[in-house]
Structure 1
Amino acid sequence: MKGKFLFLAMLFILASCGSENTSMIGEKTTMEVQEVVDMGDVARGEVIEAEISIKNTGDVPLIIADVKESCSCTVTDKPSDPIAPGESTSTVAKIDTKNFSPGTFTKTVTISGNTKPSGHTVLIKANVIN
């Protein structure tokens, strides 16, 4: 009797967990990511904030699994909520230029999610001046 009650309770809980913004395991979508962010001239020692736009161009919710920086001078945040089909969001990459030499630099940020291909690389570039 306890087993039947427990089974029915679990079945009820699972049935009531439906949401229109859920994604099944293995479902793939597509995303459009800004490929290059040009920050122009920046003063040496400045912390620049490059905003990267992300758009879900597929039919299922986009789940950002990871945002990976190319070096320790770059810090990014990862969108935590799924992005609905047709919707957009952004993430910010902060780059500390205090140890950079004058001249141009490029850094990369790779955004991974339930897409095919799974990773999309964004190039951030700027020109450091004294």
Structure 2
Amino acid sequence: MKKIITFLCIGLIIFSVNAQEKTAKINFKSDTIDYGTIEKGSDGVRVFEFTNTGDAPLIVSKVTSSCGCTVPKWSKDPILPGKTGEIQVKYDTNRVNPIRKTITVISNADTPTVALKIKGEVIDSNKESVLEKKGKNVVEQ
């Protein structure tokens, strides 16, 4: 009887150790990319790099942007533990405006939703700004 109880206790301990779930963890090198000041029509592609620091394969299932002017692209293949991946973001630089957009990443990681940000400003050097025109008028008077 003692042998059976000892065997059941050992089996229960082994089962509880094996029952612990393995999880993927997503760790971004940076959660914000600053475009700085860029010219209209310039290259709008930037890359967010990340590493799977967990002990299970990481699957990025969906990446969305807060605006249609920003298009994300990513690999649908699982990222193995310790390996890196990337999310490519292309901003439409034909839009002359400040850039303030959020990219939402959904995965099977322990933190399933991560918000990434891009910022900067697109300028058109061929056009004068309203502030420059006002400055000239004030100086000329």
With the length of structure 2 as denominator, give the TM-score of the two structures. Answer: 0.67
- 1:73 corresponds in structure 2 to 69
Cα deviation digits, residues 81-110 of structure 1 (max 9, x gap): 100101101121000022233xx3211111
Alignment of 1:1-130 (within 5 A): 28-33=23-28, 34-101=30-97, 104-130=98-124
Deviations 1:2-37 (A, max 9, x none): xxxxxxxxxxxxxxxxxxxxxxxx863211122111
Where in structure 1 are there 5+ consecutive unaligned residues? 1-25
Would the alpha carbon gap of residues 85 and 43 (structure 1) be closer, same or farther in structure 2, given more than 3 Å must change? Answer: same
> What is the percentage of aligned positions where both structures have the same residue?
31
Aligned residues: 103
Q: Distance in 1 between matches of 2:43 and 2:35?
A: 11
Query: Which one has a larger percent strand, Structure 1 or Structure 2?
Result: 1
Equivalent-residue separation in structure 2 for 1:68 and 1:27 (angstroms): 27
Q: Which 4+ stretches in 1 moved above 6 angstroms?
A: none
Alignment check: 8 A CA contact 2:25 2:52 kept: yes
Amino acid at match of 1:73: C
Length-normalised TM-score, structure 1: 0.72
Q: Give distance in 2, aligned partners of 1:27 and 1:109.
A: 27
**CA deviation profile, 1:53-88 (whole Å, cap 9, x unmatched):** 121010000001101111100111121110010110
Q: Is the 8 A contact 2:25 2:109 kept in 1?
A: yes
Which has the larger share of helix?
Answer: 2
Q: What is the distance in 1 between the residues matched to 2:75 and 2:113?
A: 15
Distance in 1, Cα, partners of 2:34 & 2:118: 6
User: Does structure 1 conserve the Cα–Cα contact (< 8 Å) formed by 2:23 and 2:109?
Assistant: yes
Can you give the 5+ residue segments of structure 2 that lack an aligned partner in the other structure? 1-20, 125-141
CA contact (8 A) 1:39 1:124 kept: yes
- Counterparts of 1:68 and 1:41 in 2: how far apart (Å)? 24
State how far apart, in whole Å, the 2-side matches of 1:27 and 1:71 are: 35
